[in-house]
Structure 1
Amino acid sequence: MTLKDTRILLIISGGIAAYKSLDLIRRLRERGARVIPVMTAGAQQFVTPLAVGALSSGHVFTDLFSREDEQDVGHIRLARDCDLVLVAPATADLMAKMANGLADDLASTVLLAADRPVLIAPAMNPKMWSHPATLRNAETLAGDGIRFVGPKAGEMAEGGEAGLGRMAEPLEIVAAVEGLLDARAGGQPLPLSGRRAIVTSGPTHEPIDPVRYIANRSSGKQGHAIAAALAKLGAEVTLVSGPVEIADPSGVRVVHVERAEEMLDAVVAALPADIAVMVAAVADWRVAASAGEKIKKKPGEAPPPLQLAENPDILKTIGHHAARPRLVVGFAAETQNLEANARDKLKRKGADLIVANDVSPATGIMGGDRNNVKIVSSDGIDAWPELSKQEVAERLANLIATRLTELR
């Protein structure tokens, strides 16, 4: 949609990512939006009201007790006289205030009084994002209907640290604003609006040495299609992808990993969520101690033995996690005893649904474009006809939306 003539109340809180708010204002205004900025005291330590005002071409609101701005209860007017409230960056401190209903400055007071959609772009150190208190606050906010864009994985501004915590880029935030306003303009919200989903996809590569690795034959096509289908229904999706040769789906936040342990870390860091769909073909074992240099063949000598260690069970971990998503979906790729193995997996791993498929070489499913699945749940087994992987993804996304509705 065009943002022409929309009114975006932009709350800028205190963090180094506040510098991105200047480009964000420019991008929103390029699309015709009017931006009304609110800055916290912390934000003013990183960017000046003068710079923000110059780019927004308007007054910058900073003080809850401003004699000029509050003569007509300005914080209430700001909260209501807009189409959407956007918080970028949203610090851990401001998220905590929002989650607990605190209102001790202009920004938090406006947010408590807002009756418009609220979209936040978290930005903080990875340790702060993964702290149990922040995850609890994020879960509370999601339950209250607050929408999220990000955080992203990457290098931190302070240097030497990397992980999940970077603020989404301005164009990603603009796309999220457009999507949220589009959904509202359509009258009915999308089935998964306000929901957060985690999807895993592709194989994992477990290094033997710098050249060789243990892997599975997954192409990532099914997992990527499911991530895109959930996003199309309005979910905010984090896709944790192993090494694949296909493009990232649009409208989805993607975290690229190599090893099973990295995949588990990324999935846990993406919590809290409403939905987890564990599609990735994770290698069951890794080499206990991978070599630092390429292992060379030696004439007349047997190959060196590989001592294997069991990889973490990502589906089981999430199925029994303290912050378990409301709906957990696993995949069972089997070559024999498909239904029995899927029923066993459903029970042992704490899943709500298992999508089971026969991946025997004759089926051509691994790496192919079609799939033939059975949906296993406590209610029984539903065999779907052979479909394209895109059709399986769309059908599964709709089933997930229906199941979540039934859980309310």
Structure 2
Amino acid sequence: MTSLAGKAVLLIIGGGIAAYKTHELVRLLKTRGARVRVIMTRAAEEFVTPLSLASLSGEKVYTALFSLTDEVEMGHIQLSRAADLLVVAPATADLMAKMAHGLADDLASTALLATDKPVLIAPAMNVRMWQHPATQHNVEILRRHGIALVGPTDGEMACGEFGPGRMAEPGDILGAIVTMLTPKARPLAGRRVIITAGPTREPIDPVRFISNHSSGKQGYAIAEAAAELGAETVLISGPVSLPAPSGVRVVNVETAREMLTACQDEMPADIAIFTAAVADWRVASEAAEKLKKTEAGPPNLALAENPDILATIAHSGMRPSLVVGFAAETEKVTEHATQKLKRKGCDIIVANDVSEAGGVFGSDRNTVHLVTSTGIESWPEMSKQDVGRKLMERLTELLTPQQKAME
């Protein structure tokens, strides 16, 4: 049994029938040596009592945001930051929506918004509520914010329906807690990883530009995974609407030429991953003023080719040990990716289908194919976060023998 001695868990209990399982969860945490403090929502008190949880945890149970006594003894901000991990179980649809959108109108949601510690949630709700697009949208937002999930599982609901929405069992939640509180291996500690992400914008005039639909989500997910593995991670990003991943230094650029310069400035690196959807062309001569409509019709825009960032870095004198390119294709995905691998001089091409049928641009899921000189490996559809983790784990395995050979 992995000990949690010296670890502090703040358990936030939402208002759902699954709240009864938190008694067993508190007991399991205590047997592992963890200190457990509990916050209950007003709705949670309809299912379990503060007295029972105080008895099991051996700690005061907190329920009210505006309690003068509680604020003097343990302010809500300190309460959230004194824990090593916050666990929300059951995480109701309402609580998840508050977390996703930064609402803070009670003690539970305020503590979650004020914390700087990792958060694990165990969703529990009716199957239709779980499958509703609003809930699934909130789930993706929470995942992008680094919130970990355990469950929900399939099973019979209290309402009599069957499907996903049952809260994970206390033993499974405990396992997820142990995983999150156990020091993670950092195999890329001391290594440097550079990642490009998002689109580029090539100006036509002061108000117009050439660009594409890249959201940057996949590159940001890869950067987050690299940082989790201990790498010094630099994310060179085109214009996107995404928060900077934790532990990652972001360099913001606009054009392809700016992105290439930033990549060269950040060398040397052990791994370089080029996920950015770089515009192939730019306007040869940007207009100094906004172009106006005229009777002569649309202006003739002469195009110039942008620098090939991937090929330039792959063939440079400061080439990283591993160079990874991305191929966003609309047809003949693996065929075009294989040709690109040879042409660019990189070690791996990660290919995906960005056609309308593929639905990758802007979505939170991806289906990729790893193309190397030895063959093609196709991965099943998964979240972009999972693609990022799996890719970085694979690159870590490949980097180790290369480095050993060099040393």
> Which of the five TM-score ranges fits, normalised by the shorter chain?
0.5 to 0.7
Is 1:224 the counterpart of 2:203? The answer is: no
Tell me what 2:197 maps to.
Answer: 201
Cα offset, 1:301, TM superposition: 2.1
Q: Distance in 2 between matches of 1:311 and 1:403?
A: 31
Match of 1:377 in 2: 372
Where 1:362 maps in the other structure, the secondary structure is coil
Match of 1:256 among 249, 252, 256: 252
- Equivalent in the alignment of 2:150: none
Cα distance in 2 for residues equivalent to 1:212 and 1:334:
25
1:306 corresponds in structure 2 to: 301
Deviations for 1:288-307, whole angstroms, at most 9, x for unmatched residues? Answer: 00101100112x32101000
> How many angstroms does 1:381 deviate by?
0.3
Q: Deviations over 1:53-85 (max 9, x none)?
A: xxxxxxxxxxxxxxxxxxxxxxxxxxxxxxxxx
Distance in 1 between the 2:353 and 2:269 partners?
A: 29
Counterpart of 2:63 in structure 1 is none
| Number of residue equivalences | 223
**Letter in structure 2 aligned against 1:195:** R
| 1:14-33 → structure 2 map (5 Å cutoff) | none
Whole-angstrom distance in 1 between the partners of 2:349 and 2:195: 14
Residues 90-109 of structure 1 mapped to structure 2, 5 A cutoff: none
Letter of the aligned partner of 2:227 in structure 1?
A
Partner of residue 232, structure 2: 236
CA deviation profile, 1:68-119 (whole Å, cap 9, x unmatched)? xxxxxxxxxxxxxxxxxxxxxxxxxxxxxxxxxxxxxxxxxxxxxxxxxxxx
After superposition, residues 111-130 of structure 1 pair within 5 angstroms as: none
User: Please, which runs of 5 or more residues in structure 1 have no aligned partner?
Assistant: 1-185
TM-score (norm. length: structure 2): 0.54
CA distance in 1, matches of 2:205, 2:228: 40
State the distance in 2 between where 1:325 and 1:381 align: 22
2-structure distance, mates of 1:261, 1:346: 22
Separation in 1 of the partners of 2:376 and 2:205? Answer: 42
Q: State the alpha-carbon separation in 2 of the partners of residues 192 and 335 from structure 1.
A: 34
Query: 1:187 deviation in Å?
Result: 8.5
| Aligned residue in 2 for 1:82 | none
Structure 2, unaligned runs of 5 or more = 1-181
Shift of 1:189: 5.5
**Secondary structure of the equivalent of 2:264?**
helix
Q: State the Cα distance separating 1:336 from its structure 2 match.
A: 1.2
Look up the equivalent residue of 1:235 and give its one-letter code: A
Between the aligned residues of both structures, percent identity stands at: 60
2:277 match: 281
| Counterpart AA for 1:279 | T
Q: Is the partner of 2:254 in helix, strand or coil?
A: coil
Q: Radius of gyration: which is bigger?
A: 2
How much has 1:188 moved relative to structure 2?
8.4
CA distance, structure 2, for counterparts of residue 188 and residue 260 of structure 1:
36
> Residue 316 of structure 1 aligns with which residue?
311
Look up the SS of the partner of 1:208 in the other structure.
Answer: strand
Q: Superposition pairs for residues 314-393 of structure 1, below 5 Å?
A: 314-393=309-388
For residues 367 and 187 of structure 1, the distance between their equivalents in structure 2, rounded to whole angstroms, comes to 33
Pick from 277, 287, 293 the counterpart of residue 291 of structure 1. 287
Dislocated runs of 4+, deviation >2 Å? 186-189
For 1:51-66, what aligned pairs fall within 5 Å after superposition? Answer: none
Q: What TM-score do you get using the length of structure 1 for normalisation?
A: 0.54
